[in-house]
Amino acid sequence: MLAQTTGGGKAWFSLIFALWSSSSATSGLIDTLNAIYDREESRPWWKSRLLALALAVATGMLLTAALIIVVYGPVILDKVAPGSSALYVWKIAQWPVAALLLIVALLGIYRFAPDLKEQKWNWLMPGSIVAAVTWMAVSMLFKVYVRHFSHFGLLYGSLGTLIILMLWFYLSGAAILVGGVINAVLEDAAAGRRFPGANRRGHGLPTKTHLQAPEPQSPRRF
């Protein structure tokens, strides 16, 4: 009984620690995206922290679903319908499905992480697509590198797995930030051309598309 209680306590502690660590990483991502959009965080600390926790949980669920689809999808389908032609179709379709889940996760990050009052979804799509493609390409290349060319296990022993995981997290974060920069730059350029619904960097509200001409000023009398 005591062993079960101790094991349950460790499980809860691990879960709380994982949530706190992931929310801390997401808080750093929120600060960086605010800097990209030239915004200062105006939300209360508790609200920003809850937002970081919600984004971390939602993104983790979507990424886990994408990982299950890619890694275990063919295995599950082969057990359900062995020898079916749908297995070959799924091996091709699993990548677009996983990319769609990843794009949805990125859209949520780009929409709710920066402290912007109003933001159109169409301005978030270019960076989301670029970040998703970059993330998938980096992940596949990194997987090939670790499998065939690296020697982390020989050099670092049991720390090799942790180093690989941290490096993958770094590359994933870089891909997300590249997408955020693309969104901010494209939207700022569109706002400079007075495109409807586009936000200027440093402003949370859309720019006015119908600007009135300035009234002529009367000459100053001396």
Q: What is the pTM of this model?
A: 0.74
6 by DSSP, 3-state: which? Answer: helix
Q: What residue has token string 């690989």?
A: 164
206 by DSSP, 3-state: which? Answer: strand
- Predicted local distance difference test score (pLDDT) of residue 206: 42
Closest CA to 156 of 144, 146, 142: 146
pLDDT tens, residue by residue, 82-93:
666 777 777 778
Q: Which residues of the chain have pLDDT under 70?
A: 1-11, 15, 17, 71, 74, 81-84, 143, 145-162, 165, 202-222
**Domain boundaries of the chain, sorted by first residue:** 18-192
- Predicted local distance difference test score (pLDDT) of residue 208: 42
- Predicted local distance difference test score (pLDDT) of residue 210: 39
d(CA 73, CA 166): 26
d(CA 108, CA 128): 10
Q: Residue 215: CB partners within 8 Å, gap ≥ 6?
A: none
- Predicted local distance difference test score (pLDDT) of residue 148: 66
Beta bridge partners of 206: 199
- Predicted local distance difference test score (pLDDT) of residue 146: 64
pLDDT tens, residue by residue, 141-166:
776 766 665 565 566 656 666 677 67
